[in-house]
A and B are shown apart, each in its own frame.
Chain A
């Protein structure tokens, strides 16, 4: 032991009659990184044997890795020095570090040729108790720290943790570390956190009343660390953007082990097991490389959930919030496996049982779902996927039990078998479906199918329309997806009221968003007005009705623009009669111009009238309907042109009517049960 003594002052004899004490003032004592400054050694009780050696010093600095710590105002009442060894078996000192300092605590140290050690016991620190022990034998060292019930708020004030705000809680720590020179070779640590509340300064990570226990064991072998950890959250809540996890009665636990190489910046997780009771269990292995961002080099994971409702509430809801999937939740059971290679998902296999999908916005509901989805990045994969359900509902439209069998690989999804979807007493048959993603540009969709005998009565019922009767059939030869708009080729034919309505150029975008848009063209051919008016409480009319709705464009289920005409077809030879009530209602749509004449004149005694033609047209643009009739008059247009006797003409005078007002009038007609004729 090399000891340099810079003796400034030496023996000072007391002026007392008998010499009972001697003291020496020594500037600095240095040994292997240890340094005692401002040393004062006194030999007291000289008369007794053995004499007592008392050391006081201003400061003790420790070698690496303890060099952040130093002791100040040292007073050692049991000091020995000799034979290349210096020891203090009992002392008190204050602790200094760059970040904090403490009141005086008990300490001891030994500094010998082959062994140095120190210990600090029962140090009151941040509302808790701290014990630190360090030992160095040759080039090896070990450190032991025990901290009990340290108050995090006081700790925050002492060590001024950056980027965090600690509000409440107690931390207990148990740490054993050892190493050689200034490197660490092994760490064993356990942290126990009670009722912890705090958050990072950016508020992206936070905890409330958290009870957490962490255990970590790590050993270094060359550049590689082998580690093993167990983390358990036993209570409280954690927020790690975007996840919010409230710990229930059962603990959430994570067990993991692996290796870590700081030089190659690679971490291997040999096995990891995350268990969140009531939600999910995730198991697997992974290799992670972090350099410029984190990269998953390889991962194989399985995710099991016995309660998808729990998984959905805890993990999916925060991810879905603020996206198109907001409000979507799942129920049922799932077991999924997935593999990642170089940050890219290479395969996914998910099996479902008792699956229910619910959507608060009512866009899509699935009940009694089951099946397996197999997807692979490999374009030659032949693993079949299958999905069955008892009930599927798209907005208000219910689809009965069905089974879909398909192949999902690379960027394609293709139906393997023709599928019939029961729909409102009829069927939507999907003969072929293929979806192909294109890296550049929009996906290609191929579809071929038909709609067969779908009940219009049920359709009007589920859509909450006035009940209609008839059926819808049609052939859809293709689907085109362009500009985020899905367009159906072919045409849908609606057979209703002894006539036909043909729907063509049907296109939609944003069908599942809060703002769906629709385009369509309608051709109305030869409907029987008697059947039609009977359904609508409009007032009886006999005759036929034809027309069209061109360039219909709807946003959020409301028409925005169209060009429509409905009227008596040319050359119609059916019986043309119109009731008093219908006349009034047509007059009210047009603006009430004829209603008073009808009421005041003798015509009010007639139940029905003959007519030559009736017709109404509207060009809707920017919320205003440009009205049209059967024929233009000098000031207006005929809505009803009479024929025979008694003759009645209804003429509209308002060329423009606000669409909202027009709709309100129509609504009023359907809610008015009867019209009194005075």
Chain B
């Protein structure tokens, strides 16, 4: 009887709880990478010099190679803990990136602002010129749909669909952080502020 009790106690102490905590830092890093990617505007392509190869160029090539290799392996080693590389996420990112140039002037004009939850809002619909009003509404609605899909896709891609709310709130702070000077965002008390 005592043996059973001891065994029972052992069993109790052997219970291990595994908590999976939300990887906040990794989520922030993923958010940074995604937001920067969306807001990055394409730079003009550099023209490649057309010249023959000399020895020193070959040497440069070789060293470039090794540097690239190092970079490749480093990049892989430091890969974010959150996976953001699925076809669905790439698709949403591409969609948001292609929409950004259209949204940008409306951010700057103050028609579109970032809400506390990181979603977009038409701040003062009445001030938007009639001709552009529908476009602004549609852009905001489409971007908000993409944002919500993006958060769910990231949560799903990492095997934790329940993380969506935390991912959304991580992104919310990062969207505001990456707002350019002159853009409007909503502070935690609900008032609108202009980014300095």
Contacts and interface: CB of A to CB of B under 8 A. Distances in A.
B62 A591 contact: yes
B58 A592 contact: yes
A678 to B, nearest CB: 7
Interface stretch (A198-206, A348-356, A493-501, A643-651): A198-206
A668 interface: yes
B134 A675 contact: no
B18 interface: no
A584 interface: yes
B37 to A, nearest CB: 13
Interface centre among B98, B134, B142 (most CB of A within 10 A): B134
Contacts of B55: 596, 599-600, 678
Interface centre among A246, A510, A592, A678 (most CB of B within 10 A): A592
B65 A322 contact: no
Interface residues of A, number: 49
B95 interface: yes
Contacts of B72: 624, 656-658
A321 B68 contact: no
Given A202-B125, A239-B133, A678 B54 contact: yes
A510 B87 CA distance: 12
Nearest to A236: B130
Interface stretch (B45-53, B171-179, B185-193): B45-53
B61 interface: yes
B13 to A, nearest CB: 43
A595 B48 CA distance: 20
B87 A237 contact: no
B153 to A, nearest CB: 13
A461 interface: no
Interface in A567-620: 584, 588, 591-593, 595-596, 599-600
Given A208-B130, A517-B87, A555-B91, A654 B98 contact: no
Interface centre among B58, B68, B138 (most CB of A within 10 A): B58
B73 to A, nearest CB: 7
B69 interface: yes
Contact of B141 (A204, A322, A658): A322
Contact of B133 (A203, A591, A624): A203
A555 B94 CA distance: 10
Contacts of A658: 68, 71-72
Interface in A158-206: 165, 199, 202-204, 206
A322 B68 contact: no
A595 B126 contact: no
Interface residues of B, number: 37
Contacts of B134: 239, 241-244, 318, 321
Given A514-B98, A515-B91, A588 B61 contact: yes
Nearest to A653: B65
Contacts of A250: none
A466 interface: no
B150 interface: no
B140 to A, nearest CB: 9
A663 interface: no
Given A592-B61, A656-B73, A241 B53 contact: no
Contacts of B87: 517, 555, 560
B126 A321 contact: no
Contact of B61 (A514, A560, A591, A671): A591
Interface in A628-662: 654, 656-658, 661
A595 B130 contact: no
B85 interface: yes
B95 A515 contact: yes
Contacts of A199: 126
B52 A674 contact: yes
B97 to A, nearest CB: 9
A672 interface: yes
Interface of B: 48, 50, 52-55, 58-59, 61-62, 65, 68-69, 71-73, 76, 85, 87, 90-91, 94-95, 98, 125-126, 128, 130-131, 133-135, 137-139, 141-142
29 contacts: A165-B126, A203-B125, A204-B125, A208-B130, A237-B130, A237-B131, A241-B133, A244-B134, A318-B134, A322-B139, A322-B141, A322-B142, A514-B94, A514-B95, A555-B90, A555-B94, A588-B61, A591-B62, A591-B65, A592-B62, A595-B53, A596-B59, A599-B55, A624-B72, A657-B68, A658-B71, A673-B50, A675-B53, A676-B52
Given A241-B133, A654-B65, A674-B52, 20 more contacts: A206-B133, A239-B134, A242-B138, A244-B130, A321-B135, A321-B138, A514-B95, A515-B95, A555-B90, A555-B91, A556-B94, A560-B87, A591-B65, A592-B58, A654-B68, A657-B72, A658-B71, A671-B48, A672-B52, A676-B53
